[in-house]
Amino acid sequence: MEDKLQKLAELVRSLKRAGASDARVVDVSKIIVDEALAARCLEPKCPNYGLALSCPPNVEGPEGMREKLKRFEKAVTLKLDVPLKLLNSKESYTAFKRLSELAVGAEELAKELGFREAEAYTGGSCKVIFCGEEERCQALSGGACRQPRFARRSMSGYGVDVTALAAEAGWKLSWSGVQPEDGGEKLASVYGLVLIY
């Protein structure tokens, strides 16, 4: 047990070293999965709905996530603070790309530390993040994913309640951004989740 806790602490430290704005260990039992949240991918319909193997209806959805969570006890959640205006721009994919790199880095380290089942989830559509220049998702038609290392499924398609997850981590989530104390430009956060064991 002590060994596992030390490894979780190492994962948190490595995420912060790599540039995550914060990272926390959470109990998987506290992760809320809500059908109504997953349904938002379809209504109002997300422009990326169905465009990638990693988005609905091509993922297992809330029921699949509940089944998966039964196999885990601990997860690490991370956030990346970015300028709100970046998230509201057509360059927003760069924030989600960085988030994917951070989450996958933690997943890879977790595997090195012995948590072979570790699995990262991010935000946004990998079609936009990694294949924006491509006409279609190659993996959807039976080909190989163009970004197998970094493309991960978004929490949204599974109905993971990101607001509740952020609260569990002790973060106050604001979609409309937060003014930093130094008076700089408004920041907003993107969130990732790595199931560890």
Least distance (Å) between residue 31 CB and ligand SF4: 24
Least distance (Å) between residue 59 CB and ligand SF4: 11
Least distance (Å) between residue 54 CB and ligand SF4: 5
CB closer to ligand SF4, 141 vs 176: 141
142 CB-near residues (< 8 Å, 6+ apart): none
Least distance (Å) between residue 171 CB and ligand SF4: 27
Handedness of CA 82, 84, 85, 91 (dihedral sign): positive
The helix, strand and coil proportions of the chain, stated in percent and rounded to the nearest 5, come to: 40, 20, 45
Alpha carbons 20 and 126: distance in angstroms, whole number: 20
CB closer to ligand SF4, 23 vs 59: 59
Which residues are near ligand SF4 by CB under 6 A? 52-54, 126-127, 130-131, 137-139, 145-147, 151
CB closer to ligand SF4, 138 vs 163: 138
Instruction: Sheet with 119-121: list strands edge to edge.
Output: 22-27, 74-83, 187-195, 119-121
